[in-house]
Each structure stands twice: as structure tokens, then as C-alpha cells.
Amino acid sequence: MLQSLAYLILKTLGWRLVEPDERPGRVLIIGYPHTSNWDALYGLLVGLALGLRANWAAKDNLFFWPLGLLLRWLGGIPVNRRQRTGFVEQMVGRFAHHERCQLIIAPEGTRRRTKGWKTGFYRIALTAEVPIGLGCIDYARREAGILAYLTLTGDPEIDIATIAGYYTNRSGKRPELASPIRWLDQAQ
């Protein structure tokens, strides 16, 4: 029922859902561009409408009482970005222990413009040996969902170029805040 309701809401608001035919049981989905608080609401609706049973990572200070209870119930995983907590290893472990596991991460780690993407999602997907889903909420086209599912090659330069190709001409709510699709450690 929630799936149908979410689909109806999105359709009424003029959004079209996109997703390739074959969804892997274990997948790490990246959400890009992430430029607005509205992305969370639309992302939740898209996930429900597509029937995803995904967890998603967000900064831990959003998980205050009582909102934190709701966010966890909706699949939220708090991330402490102020110190190293072994998040990558924890998520790899989650994939190892669950036959069906879907995790959503914003590769920039924030709604603000950054010089590039963090590598955590990439390291999780490679180590856990899971494909990545290229999630997108494209405000210009009013399309939302998964653009493609990719198996990483292990060559970071080839993989980031392939990913960038799928996101060409995709626009967040605030396009000026979209980070360039390149590894943060290569940013100039």
C-alpha cells in the first residue's frame, strides 16, 4: 500500500520513475546530485515507490530524540563524520551478513558543493563485491530512481569516468551546489 501511495504522490507531482529491469539483491546505491533538503523527502518517496528495502546513511546529529526513532525506522544509519568510526568496515560487514542488502550513500557526504567525491562508497562496494546503483533525483527532467547498476572494475579512474557519463546533464534542485564527479583526493 505504501508503495502505491508513494508512486501516486510522485506521479501527481509530475515525477517519472526510472530503473533498469534487473535489480541486484545486494547493491550500494549512490545518490547524486545531493543539493537540497528536499532530496531526502523525494528520495524516501522514490525508494518506497520502487519497493526498495534500503538503509541510508546520514549525519548522526539528525538522529536526535524523537526524530531519530523515525529516521531509524525508515532505514537511517547515523554516521559520525567528526571522527573515524570504521564505517566502511561496518557496511562491508553488513553486506557480508545479509543476502539481500541495499545501502544508499551520498558520495559527496553533504549537500554543499565540495571539490569532489569521497571514496567510502567505492571502497565499500569493492570490498563487499557488490555493484553500485546510480541513484538520481533530476529536478530538470522530473525523473527519479536508478539510472544504472554497475559492477566496478577496480580501476578508480575508469570507474569514476563511467559514473560521470551517466550523470551528464542531470540536475539537482540547486545545480550550483552539485560537486564535480571526481575523487576528492584529485581535486585541485
Domain of residue 69, residue span? 2-14+25-106+113-140+156-173
Asked if residue 148 is part of any domain, the answer here is no
**21-35: pLDDT as tens digits:** 999 999 999 999 999
Asked if residue 180 is part of any domain, the answer here is no
Q: With pLDDT > 90 as the criterion, what percentage of the chain qualifies?
A: 80
What local confidence, expressed as pLDDT, does residue 158 receive? Answer: 97
The CATH number of the domain holding residue 58 is 3.40.1010
**pTM of the predicted model, to two decimals?**
0.91
Is the Cα dihedral 72, 87, 177, 29 positive or negative?
Answer: negative
Asked if residue 83 is part of any domain, the answer here is yes
Asked if residue 145 is part of any domain, the answer here is no
**95-123: pLDDT as tens digits:** 999 999 999 999 987 888 989 999 999 99
Of the candidates 50, 49, 9, 15, the one whose C-alpha atom is nearest the C-alpha of residue 140 is 15
What SS3 state is found at 165?
Answer: helix
The total of structural domains in the chain comes to 1
Of the candidates 165, 164, 161, 97, the one whose C-alpha atom is nearest the C-alpha of residue 130 is 97
Of the candidates 105, 156, 101, the one whose C-alpha atom is nearest the C-alpha of residue 128 is 101
Extract long-range pairs of 86-91: CB within 8 Å, 24+ residues apart. Answer: 87/57, 87/120, 88/120, 88/123, 88/124, 88/127, 91/28, 91/57, 91/124, 91/128
Asked if residue 188 is part of any domain, the answer here is no
Asked if residue 160 is part of any domain, the answer here is yes
Asked if residue 50 is part of any domain, the answer here is yes
- First-to-last alpha carbon distance for the chain, in angstroms, is 48
Asked if residue 183 is part of any domain, the answer here is no
Q: How many residues does the chain have?
A: 188
Question: Which residue is listed with cell 569514476?
Answer: 160
